[in-house]
Amino acid sequence: MNPTNIHLKFGSKMMNILKKGVGLTNRSLFGLAGICLVLMMALACSNMVMRSLGHPVKGTFELMGFFGAMVAALSLAGTQAGGGHIVITIFQKRFPKPVRIVLDMVTSVLSLVFFGLMAWQTWVLALGIREFEELSETLQIIYYPFILVVCLGVVALVVQIVLETLILCTGNGEKS
């Protein structure tokens, strides 16, 4: 076996490991987002029932917002992997395949930089809130961990986009 083949085989094996790892992470985060969604539903219903009995659940609106943030952020990578975002392909599909691949690479790089900056800035925001020991308005609890969860979701999206870019670079096909 010549060295090129060994390199190709190694690269392909690494890629498979990466795909499996990213897939597992996305599924786990999706699962957590699902739990948050169900908790959100249960919390809102409990508050309605308790409110009618004269004892509303304190901080419901605040907690709903935090759960909502986790639902959105933790499903970012899974939605990207499943091709769940709205994309307009009406003109692009008329271009030749090499042009489409180059344009997809441009898309990936732009998205990578943008969400990389977003992850960094949510991290900075969370650390700033921790430093000033800021508490939530109603429940008076520390809430920077929720911002860190949002940061985690954005990082997972960045990793998913990196994987897609690698697949494009290695010529394993276009985006679906």
Q: Which parts of this chain interact with another protein (CB under 8 A)?
A: 30, 33-34, 37-38, 40-45, 47-48, 61-62, 64-69, 71-73, 75-76, 78-79, 82, 84-92, 100, 103-104, 106-107, 110-111, 114, 117-118, 120-122, 124-125, 146-147, 150, 154, 175
157, 80 in Cβ contact below 8 A?
yes
Q: How far is the CB of 74 from another protein (least distance, A)?
A: 8
C-beta of 1 vs 90, nearer to another protein:
90
Rounded Cα distance, 8 and 22, in Å: 21
149, 76 in Cβ contact below 8 A?
no
Q: How far is the CB of 15 from another protein (least distance, A)?
A: 22
- Amino acid residing at 31: G
The angle that helices 60-74 and 144-169 make with each other, rounded to 10 degrees, is 10
The residues pairing with 147 across neighbouring beta strands, listed in sequence order, are: none
- Classified as helix, coil or strand, 86 is coil
Q: How far is the CB of 118 from another protein (least distance, A)?
A: 6
Rounded Cα distance, 4 and 109, in Å: 28
C-beta of 1 vs 106, nearer to another protein:
106
C-beta of 46 vs 170, nearer to another protein:
46
C-beta of 15 vs 44, nearer to another protein:
44
Please work out, in degrees rounded to the nearest 5, the angle formed at the alpha carbon of residue 44 by the alpha carbons of 64 and 122: 10
Q: How far is the CB of 170 from another protein (least distance, A)?
A: 19
Q: How far is the CB of 13 from another protein (least distance, A)?
A: 30
Length of the chain: 176
C-beta of 17 vs 109, nearer to another protein:
109
